[in-house]
Chain A
Amino acid sequence: MSFLFEAGHRGCAGCCDAMVAKFVLMAAGEDCIVISPTGCLEVMTTPYPESSWGVPWIHSLFENAGSVASGVEAGLKALGKFEKTKVIAMGGDGATLDIGMRGISGAFERGHDMTYVCIDNEAYMNTGVQRSGATPFDASTTTSPAGSESFGNPRPKKDMPAIMAAHGSPYIATCSLGYPKDLIKKVKKALEVEGPTYIHAHAPCTTGWGFDTSKTVEIAKLAVQTGLWPLYEMEDGEITSVKKIGKQKKPVEDYLKMQRRFKHLFTKEGGDEELKKIQALADENIVKFGLE
């Protein structure tokens, strides 16, 4: 089977970014232009003179995918070529929540007809697993390491979907690479809806999180099943659908214990208290989004 996102890229075995990119292109089809900021996805897919992209693709910089996408959309419009071609920006959590935030905010405020996909592997993987605004509470990264005085990252994830909703986006969805059908369905919908739409895809990174390369999908599912990563859709600022976890509900330990970045919670004194805090975050989500 041939995909628009070709195999043979240089991602790690079990790479989350590669899977999400493949699913997004399955949803989009041939007639699209993809804009990617700097990050794993860009570096591993375009070693000159090779490319994994079966659709037109452009990389500019780390912090300007939203702005370049604005220009692609405007250029296509001015040249009368916009009608069918979908404009998709696809980048990491660092490029989205941190350094690229202004450009995305500008693009959404101006109302460009495009879809922004954040592939959230919860750290700056391409530069060696440093903390980003999407790194979860207590995760150990190379810039938020656990140590005698630290349990890792001291802050919870920045709520990017809520920020995008505040921009007046007509369609926002969270998804997970553990649920590809749901992801593809949501990307399709985002591309159909006119205006700036946002997809936030949770994407466990085998290298950065420290788990066996065969477990990417399993861990992705656990994030959803524990309530730590709720799956929902927002239309015009209102939550319109939620994926219930019901009987599948799992304690956060099941998810955390499989990953090296949370290892200290199970070995260090006081870890129990921290695990309770993380469970509380999951419980809050369960109530807030009505996941049960």
Chain B
Amino acid sequence: MAVIRDLNKDKMDVVEGSYAVAHSVKVCKPNVISAYPITPQTHIVEDLSQFMADGEIPNCEYIMVESEFSALSALVGSAAVGARCYSATTSQGLELMHEILFNVSGMRLPIVMTIANRAVSAPINIWNDQQDSISQRDTGWIQLYAEDLQEASDMTAQAYKIAEDKDVMLPAMVCMDGFILSHVYEPLVLLEQDLVDEYLPPYNPELTLDSKNPMTFGAFADPESYTEFRYLQQKAMNNALAKIEEAASDFQKVFGRYYGGLVDEYETEDAEIILMAMGSVIGTIKDTIDALRAKGVKVGLLKVRSFRPFPVEAIHNVIKNAKVVVAIDKNISLGLNEGALFTETKASLYNTSIDVPVIGRMIGHGGRDIPVSTIEKIVDEAANVMKSGISVESQYADLKEELL
């Protein structure tokens, strides 16, 4: 599957990642934005504030709340009265929202939120990894991960399309690596208003808080009915699988750009070694693959765009013929010594007929640089697995032994 991008140079602007996302939010015509500053998400919030100050987002209220807890809580109210809602946060802010994340998905409110991924405290660290959003994986939010600025920008519109679909009605996180994407300047095509209008219909929820037709939201469910609410959320997640694919191909029809649906592939056709990853590290991996392919190494990449719902079938289809798979994670489950992509890919293969060894490598935590050499080292280890089997299932690939 080739990446198709209509990157018409005449239409390109060089902007910061945060600006590109803020612009995307603007053209998606939100009714309520509610947010609280936290590095490296802050520029998104500031850019949106400037748009508001300049009167560029009509029919919109911007609530500058006193905490992330309230940022998302306020959107619960706004979404429930039928408003299209947006927020952005990261790290501690996202963790502070934890309780409300469940609430939003349980009430089936299709709020879209950008996560400028960042490490969590302690020790305090503001740089990029994906521990923050991965830690929220079971909250019932769709989680999409962007590779670069153009994708983060375009994914914002796709997220609304998926979240607000009548068969889905779930909130969605658009995850972009902090600093690496949020603070970088790159040439990209800013979403055109007329095309967004064509792509994204106005939000028109079936159920709202409306005094002409009073309804109770967030009722108390006892053991007689609670399970069924959860079941329906899971069903909606299943429905989202096809909608994520659809949103990507519809996007291509209107805008001419495509990044894959649930997953994307790079040099996988004859690949013996397949690396899996999410987010901006994809770019480095692609460069490494180009260099290694020139030397005859049969290595390819599976880019995972959707982490929730977890696209088991799409992943299996890509890796089933490989000789070894490496899942690369910017997060760790402490006590298991594994990253989430690794654990879940491995688990998904059990009870199937696919017999491919999978190893996990964790890199780039707390913003540690990921040079090509680190990826090369990982590929070397994968090549050894082909020859002599798995020696270390999961470990940090960039640990500094001298600091321990």
Contact = CB atoms under 8 A, between A and B. Distances in A.
B219 A70 contact: no
A61 B211 contact: no
Nearest to A44: B220
A27 interface: no
A270 interface: no
B59 A58 contact: no
A71 B31 contact: no
Contacts of B56: none
B60 A78 contact: yes
Interface in A50-97: 51, 53-61, 63-64, 66-81, 85
B214 A71 contact: no
A105 B65 CA distance: 10
Interface stretch (B69-77, B172-180, B284-292, B303-311): B69-77
B397 interface: no
Contacts of A147: none
A128 interface: no
B81 A33 contact: yes
A56 B83 contact: no
A258 B263 CA distance: 69
B66 A106 contact: yes
Contact of B222 (A48, A64, A69, A74): A48
A28 to B, nearest CB: 10
A61 B80 contact: no
Interface size on B, as a range, is: 35 or more
Interface string B202-225: 000000011100111111111001
B74 A43 contact: no
B102 to A, nearest CB: 9
A109 B218 CA distance: 27
Given A56-B211, A59-B218, A67 B74 contact: yes
A246 to B, nearest CB: 41
Contacts of B73: 60-61, 64, 67-68, 71, 103
A102 B219 contact: no
Given A64-B69, A64-B70, A47 B219 contact: yes
B69 to A, nearest CB: 7
Contact of A48 (B60, B61, B85, B221): B221
Contacts of B77: 35, 58, 60, 67-75
Given A53-B214, A60-B100, A77 B61 contact: yes
17 contacts: A30-B214, A43-B220, A56-B210, A58-B77, A60-B73, A60-B77, A64-B69, A64-B100, A70-B74, A71-B63, A72-B77, A74-B77, A75-B79, A75-B82, A75-B85, A103-B69, A106-B70
Interface of A: 30-33, 35, 42-43, 46-49, 51, 53-61, 63-64, 66-81, 85, 102-103, 105-106, 109-110
Given A64-B100, A78-B78, A102-B70, 16 more contacts: A46-B218, A46-B220, A56-B217, A57-B209, A64-B70, A67-B73, A69-B77, A71-B79, A73-B77, A74-B34, A74-B83, A102-B66, A103-B69, A105-B66, A110-B63, A110-B65
The 6 closest A-B pairs by CB, nearest first: A71-B77, A75-B78, A71-B74, A67-B73, A106-B66, A72-B77
